[in-house]
Structure 1
Amino acid sequence: MTRPSVLFVCVHNAGRSQMAAGFLRDIAGDRIEVRSGGSMPADQINPIAVAAMREAGIDIAAERPKVLTTEAVQASDVVITMGCGDDCPFFPGKRYEDWKLDDPAGQDIDAVRAIRDEIRARIERLVDELR
């Protein structure tokens, strides 16, 4: 059986989608393929998101924001959007979920911790569903 593939999408690919990808890699290991991208990628990952993830024992500091590609969407089984609106390409036969999460950009560490913890809970549920 091929392993499922999940794509996380947000506008800048610098906060929410990177935290979600980090959690999924950590929790699922190599059982699930993980991708992320943004419709308008930032220059770097949000340093507060990096700090919040480090507190959870996950290092995303080496990740870089990536542009969302049509190929990434086509190659993924599950596409999870986080506030990218109409910028996300749609393909029939994919499972789409839109996670309503606050954007960590410009927020302090306490706010980003709350976003991180909500993302972790959603990732844990997703992993259970994909098993």
Structure 2
Amino acid sequence: MIPVRKTRILFVCIGNMCRSPMAEGFARTLGGDVLEIYSAGTNPTGFVSEDAIEIMRELKIDISAQRSGGLDAVPVADMDIVVSMAPLPARRMVPRGFGGVAIDWKVQDPVGKSLTVFRRVRDDIHVRVTDLVDQVRRGELANRRTP
């Protein structure tokens, strides 16, 4: 039997401090068995927001060990799925000839906002990641590369 490779997914926002770390946390919890998960920022801050850590803990998901990093630290060309939560479209973040799926999510940036806004953004991301994991499980977003 040929081993099935996990689908590689990259979540990108601006600072890699709120939205993409939350998406990474949800993806690890909901789809860690089928996904190899990365997150990055177009302009990384070097840290994950304490507010993001706090509101994810409310759902028993710990993202405190995650670190903010840039696209240069991630093998973008090897991804099966790139999800942009930044103003820059996903197609502009991937190299020419990228064979994966590029997805744009319009998710509000909660930086500097209240915990109520953070929770609303978290819940939006939760719904989106749940749907994405379900699509991967159904083979609708199957990895496009061989193991």
What TM-score range do you get, normalising by the shorter chain? over 0.9
Q: Distance in 2 between matches of 1:77 and 1:88?
A: 13
Matches within 5 A, 1:47-126: 47-69=50-72, 72-85=75-88, 88-91=93-96, 92-126=98-132
Q: Distance in 1 between matches of 2:7 and 2:46?
A: 29
Residues 9 and 37 in structure 1, CA contact (< 8 A), matched pair in contact too: yes
Q: Distance in 1 between matches of 2:22 and 2:74?
A: 22
Which stretches of structure 1, 4 residues or more, deviate above 4 A after TM superposition?
none
Q: Distance in 2 between matches of 1:52 and 1:18?
A: 12
Specify every segment of 5 or more residues in structure 2 that has no aligned partner in the other structure, as ranges.
Answer: 138-147
How much does 1:43 deviate?
Answer: 2.8
How much does 1:58 deviate?
Answer: 0.4
* Candidates 19, 26, 40, aligned match of 2:22: 19
Letter in 2 for 1:105: V
Residues 82 and 103 in structure 2, CA contact (< 8 A), matched pair in contact too: yes
Q: Distance in 2 between matches of 1:26 and 1:123?
A: 10
Specify every segment of 5 or more residues in structure 1 that has no aligned partner in the other structure, as ranges.
Answer: none
Q: Distance in 2 between matches of 1:49 and 1:80?
A: 19
Deviations for 1:48-89, whole angstroms, at most 9, x for unmatched residues? 111110101101111110111285211110000011416623
Give the aligned length. Answer: 131
Structure 2 length-normalised TM: 0.83
Task: For residue 69 of structure 1, give the secondary structure of its aligned residue in structure 2.
Answer: helix
Task: For residue 33 of structure 2, give the secondary structure of its aligned residue in structure 1.
Answer: helix
CA RMSD of aligned residues (A): 1.6
Letter in 2 for 1:42: T
Residues 70 and 89 in structure 1, CA contact (< 8 A), matched pair in contact too: no
Q: Distance in 2 between matches of 1:52 and 1:71?
A: 26
How much does 1:93 deviate?
Answer: 1.5
Letter in 2 for 1:100: K
